[in-house]
Amino acid sequence: MTTTPPEPPAPSSLAMARPTGILFVCLGNICRSPAAEGVFLHLIGLQGLEDAFTVDSAGTGDWHVGRSADARMRSAASRRGIDLPSRARQISTADLSRFDHVLTMDRQNLKAVRGLAVQGEATAQIGPLTRYCRRYSIEEVPDPYYGGEEGFDRVLDLLEDACGGLLETLRADRAS
DSSP codes joined into one string, 2-66: --PPPPPPPPPHHHHSPPEEEEEEESSSSSHHHHHHHHHHHHHHHTT-GGGEEEEEEESS-TTTT
Catalytic residue among 143, 161, 163, 171: 143
Query: What span, in angstroms and rounded, lies between the C-alpha atoms of 132 and 108?
Result: 18
> How far is the C-alpha of 115 from the C-alpha of 152, rounded, in Å?
28
Cβ atoms of residues 31 and 143 within 8 Å? yes
Say which DSSP state 175 is in: H
Catalytic residue among 32, 74, 89, 171: 32
For the question of residue 173 being annotated catalytic, the response is no
Residue tagged active-site, from 26, 31, 133, 163: 26
Q: Tell me, yes or no, if 32 is annotated catalytic.
A: yes
User: Is 26 tagged catalytic?
Assistant: yes
Residues labelled as active-site residues? 26, 32, 143
